[in-house]
A and B are shown apart, each in its own frame.
Chain A
Amino acid sequence: MAITSPERLWWKQPVCGQEKLWISIALVWCIFITAIMPYWHFFGKQNPSQEYYRVSPVKYGAIVDKFTAKHKVGEEAGIPVVDPPPGDIFIAGSQFVWHPILKLKSGRTYRLHLSSTDMVHGFSVYPMNMNFMAVPDMDYVLTIQPDKAGEFFIICNEFCGGGHHTMTGKIIVS
């Protein structure tokens, strides 16, 4: 039994057919689910970005402000709206808002810089359900290609302080 010492020479007992078969199936499956990750890197379209840079929260805040001032086209709910050309675009999570609001064009490629000016925030695009982390000290560059037009909301899905549930933002794709 499992609660008493095993019989002598337990390590010599052959593995029975049923167990052998299952272990083989399981092993093949484990190899498959491991291999599919690199496969998707080369042939799939959705992969977590590997591009990131060190940046202080203060500096990142300044970069975002400059970017916002340059491309600002309006304001919604007190948050600036920007309409940048394809290329580098910036968004910052700050207690408790995502800014600026981004206007993007469907089918174009953007390098979305994502970071935080204070706490760790969760960048969750609704209703698409696409999730990344906004971590202070790190500029995370996501190369995205919006392929559907519409209004997308950003929800903060990492606890970042008392007003965490009020932290939202918006991306408009036309």
Chain B
Amino acid sequence: MEDFRVCPATGLKVHKPAELLIKINAVTAIVFILIGGLMALLLALTKIPAIHLLPSDLFYRFLTLHGIAMLVAWIIFFEAAILYFTSAVLLNCRLAAVKVAWLAYGLMLGGALMAAVEILIGNADCMFTSYPPLQAHHLYYLGVILFAVGAILVCCVFFGTLAVAKHEKTYEGSLPLVTFGAAAAAIIAIVTLAHGAIIFVPTWLWALGVIQHIDAPAYRLIFWGFGHSSQQINVCAMVAVWYLIAAVTVGAKPVNQRVCRTAFVLYILFIDIASEHHILVDPGFSAAHKAWNTGYFMHLAVLASMIHALAVPSAIEIALRKKGHTQGYFEWLKKAPWGNPSFSAMVWSIAGFGFLGGITGVTFGTEQINIIAHNTWRITGHFHSTVVAGTTMSFMGLTYIVLPLIFRKEVAFPKLAKFQPHVFGVGIWTMAIFMMFSGSFGMPRRHWDITFSDAAFSIPFDQTAMMALHIFGVGAIIAVIGGGMFVLVSVATLLIGKDIK
């Protein structure tokens, strides 16, 4: 029993080794968002035509690093923390296999650092997608593989903990909704990472010279079975975090658990299969196949998101109306706890994921419409809406809950923390919207020089789109400031935050 402490605020029994793992994974995530954010600043300053900061080789190198540090390291380390939190802490349970959890952490950290170093020394200028025949150094692929193995182990520890909790009867009845959502994310993660292994192991052997040839179209298919599905882990985890933050900040109760849980099950069943929307304008599949894949199946997953999109705000509204904010349609919204950074980050996340990310995702993922979106900056704007305005924002909101609850520190610079979600939100929305705007003129993604100064034809790119790049730049800089505020508040809380007894 000495392994547990009782949380004075919630009465939950907290397993100390689990707590330490949550802390270390969250802190590592924040270190990676700092690295990724620095890269983001340099990339944005290069994309602003009037500044054009980096030389081309560094632009592509840092773009690769930005993708890995953010999409892989920041997001997945944080998700590891979420999985431990939603299993061990919410279920009052000990974490199963603490040693395995540490091994997982070691593999993920080692793998991420290995990949990052290979990128930085110029051995992997291939973007995080590493489409063959572009080839990186074999250690880069090995780093990714180690990271993925670590992530699989995290999921195993999570499910082990669920089993222990069930067996030791640490909770009554069904799993809490948040844990159920996290479990859905973990199931998707295991399927996804299996795709990752299927494609990265042969590619690694190819880089080692053991295998002669990697089929480019086949790689693209299987890579996106991994790359796209892993975004669904993020969606699922983000929605679970919405329910969590809504419960903690305003005491929201899901309107109907059956509906919410069914929606999570739809994610598990249908979302993996939608991954072909990345290769809609690739050779290799019949139209029937593509329409089936992205249509019927994907749209049932979309339906799930639309269900959550009403369920979460309704739960919040009902909770706030119970507190007496019953005037008209929107008094509850006006009187909501906007000064609480967890709450405001969650609202930004819901709105950003829905209005910006979700709508554009469904639209651009339509088989034919993809022709006018594929690989343009519309796509870059779309995924900065989903994975940044949506997922990253919700994880920031969760951080403000985890700091007092798990780290037992009062959040430092509360004023700064209060404004942080708004600054980041305004920045990322501006940035994403103007990315998509210039993308609709055909602005290519992953492109260093839109003036085409060294190209065979110096294409006169649309002036409106060029202007939009400056507004994009302003948004990006505001977003970087908002991200900086997040890192500053978190780190300051850890270093100088007052202890909560």
**A residues touching B (Cβ–Cβ < 8 Å)?**
1-8, 10-11, 13, 15-16, 18-19, 22-23, 26-27, 29-31, 33-34, 36-38, 40-41, 44, 46-50, 52, 77-79, 97, 118-120, 122, 124-133, 135-140, 153, 155-170
Q: Which of B283, B374, B447 contacts A165 (CB 8 A)?
A: B447
- A-B residue pair count with CB separations less than 8 angstroms: 247
B residues contacting the other copy or chain, number (CB 8 A): 88
Nearest Cβ on chain A to B440's Cβ, whole angstroms: 7
Q: Taking beta carbons and an 8 Å cutoff, which residues of B are in contact with A?
A: 56-57, 60, 90, 125-127, 131, 133-134, 171-178, 215-217, 220, 243-244, 246-248, 251-259, 279-287, 290-291, 294-296, 299-300, 302-303, 306-307, 310-311, 314-315, 362, 366-368, 370-376, 440-442, 444-449, 452, 454-457, 459, 461-462
Interface majority SS (helix, strand, loop, mixed), chain A: mixed
Residues of B within 8 A of A122 (CB): 374-375, 444
Interface pair B444/A166, CB less than 8 Å apart: no
Given A19-B259, A120-B220, check contact A131 B376 (CB 8 Å): yes
Expressed in whole angstroms, the Cα–Cα distance for A4 and B464 within the complex equals 52
Q: Give the Cβ gap from A170 to chain B, nearest Cβ, in Å.
A: 6
A165–B257 CB distance below 8 A: no
Q: Tell me whether chain B's interface is mostly helix, strand or loop, or mixed.
A: loop
The residue among B258, B290, B370 with the most chain A CB atoms within 10 A of its own CB is: B258
Most chain-A Cβ atoms within 10 A of its Cβ — which of B174, B314, B457?
A: B457
Known A-B contacts A5-B176, A37-B295, A48-B367; the reply to A30 vs B459 at CB < 8 A is no
Contacts of B251 in A (CB 8 A): 1
Known interface pairs A33-B362, A119-B134, A159-B126; 6 further A-B residue pairs with C-beta atoms within 8 A, sorted by A's residue number: A10-B257, A49-B283, A131-B372, A135-B282, A166-B449, A168-B452
Report B58 CB to chain A, min CB distance, Å: 11
Measured between beta carbons, the chain A residues less than 8 angstroms from B448 are: 164-165
Chain A residues whose CB sits within 8 angstroms of the CB of B440 once the complex forms: 129
Q: How far is the CA of A153 from the CA of B460 in the complex (A)?
A: 10
Shortest B122–chain A CB gap in Å is 10
Q: Are A6 and B455 touching (Cβ within 8 A)?
A: no
- Given A16-B256, A30-B303, A158-B375 contact (CB < 8 Å): yes
A3, A30, A38, A130: which contacts B300 (Cβ < 8 A)?
A: A30
Question: Could you tell me the distance in whole angstroms from the C-beta of B363 to the nearest C-beta in chain A?
Answer: 9
CA distance A18 to B456 in the complex (A): 59
Q: Are the C-beta atoms of B246 and A157 separated by less than 8 Å?
A: no
Q: Which of B126, B307, B370, B371 contacts A23 (CB 8 A)?
A: B307
A16 touching B446, Cβ below 8 Å: no
Q: Give chain A residues whose Cβ lies under 8 Å from the Cβ of B307.
A: 22-23, 26
Contact across chains for B442 and A33 when beta carbons are under 8 A apart = no
Determine the chain B residues whose CB is within 8 A of the CB of A120 once the complex forms.
Answer: 131, 133-134, 216, 220
Can you give 10 A-B contacts (C-beta < 8 A)?
Answer: A4-B90, A11-B257, A48-B290, A131-B375, A136-B133, A137-B215, A156-B444, A157-B374, A165-B454, A165-B455
**What A residues does B302 contact at CB under 8 A?**
30
A30 touches B444 (CB 8 A): no
Q: Which of A1, A34, A131, A166 contacts B295 (CB 8 A)?
A: A34
Q: By the criterion CB–CB under 8 Å, are A157 and B174 in contact? A: no
* Contact flag A168-B257 (CB < 8 Å), given A4-B176, A132-B281: no
Q: Which residues of B contact A22 (CB under 8 A)?
A: 306-307, 310
Contact yes or no, B291 A38, CB < 8 A? yes
Q: Are B444 and A124 in contact (CB under 8 A)?
A: yes
A27-B303, A124-B376, A167-B455 known; A8 and B173 CB under 8 Å? yes
CA distance A106 to B56 in the complex (A): 38
Contact B459–A165 (Cβ < 8 Å): no
Residues of A within 8 A of B376 (CB): 124, 129, 131, 157
- Contact indicator A46/B281 (Cβ below 8 Å): no
Q: Are A47 and B368 in contact (CB under 8 A)?
A: yes
Instruction: List the B residue with the shortest CB-CB distance to A78.
Output: B456
**Given A15-B258, A37-B366, A159 and B127 contact (CB-CB distance below 8 Å):** yes
Q: Which chain B residues lie closer than 8 Å to A158 at the CB level? A: 131, 375, 446
Question: When A1-B253, A19-B259, A47-B287 are in contact, do A168 and B173 touch as well, CB less than 8 Å?
Answer: no
Residue pair A133, B456 in contact (C-beta under 8 Å): no
Contact B457 A153 (CB under 8 A): yes
Q: Known contacts A3-B244, A131-B376: does B456 contact A166 (CB below 8 Å)?
A: yes
B272 to chain A, nearest CB (A): 17
Alpha-carbon distance A130/B216, docked complex (angstroms):
22
Flag if A137 contacts B217 (CB, 8 Å): yes
| CB-CB nearest in chain B for A29 | B306
Q: Are A126 and B173 in contact (CB under 8 A)?
A: no
Do B446 and A130 touch across chains, with their CB atoms under 8 A apart? no
Contacts of A48 in B (CB 8 A): 280-281, 287, 290, 367-368, 370-371
Q: Which one of B174, B217, B442 lies within 8 Å of A10 (CB-CB)?
A: B174
* Cβ–Cβ contact A77 & B256, under 8 A: no
Output the nearest chain A residue to B213 by Cβ-Cβ distance.
A137
Contact present for A6 and B303 (CB under 8 Å)? no
A37 nearest in chain B by CB position? B291
Contacts of B454 in A (CB 8 A): 163, 165-166
| Contact between A119 and B375, CB atoms less than 8 A apart | no
The one of A29, A159, A165 that contacts B449, using a Cβ cutoff of 8 Å? A165
Chain B residues, CB < 8 A from A49: 283
Give bound CA distance, A27 to B56, whole Å. 47
Closest to A41 in B: B287
Cα(A2)–Cα(B216), bound, Å: 45
Question: How distant is B56 from chain A, measured CB to nearest CB, in Å?
Answer: 6
Query: Which of chain A's residues have a CB closer than 8 A to the CB of B300?
Result: 30
In the complex, what's the smallest C-beta–C-beta distance from B353 to chain A, in angstroms?
A: 16
A19 to B314, CA, bound (A): 9
Residues of A within 8 A of B125 (CB): 161-162
Specify the chain A residue showing the minimal Cβ separation from B299: A30
Contacts of B247 in A (CB 8 A): 1-3
For residue B259, give the distance in angstroms from its CB to the closest CB of chain A.
6
Q: Which of the residues A11, A47, A119, A168 comes within 8 Å of B131, measured between beta carbons?
A: A119
In whole angstroms, what is the CA distance A160 to B259 when docked? 46
B459 & A168 in contact (Cβ 8 Å cutoff):
yes
Cα–Cα distance between A162 and B134 once the two chains are bound (Å): 11
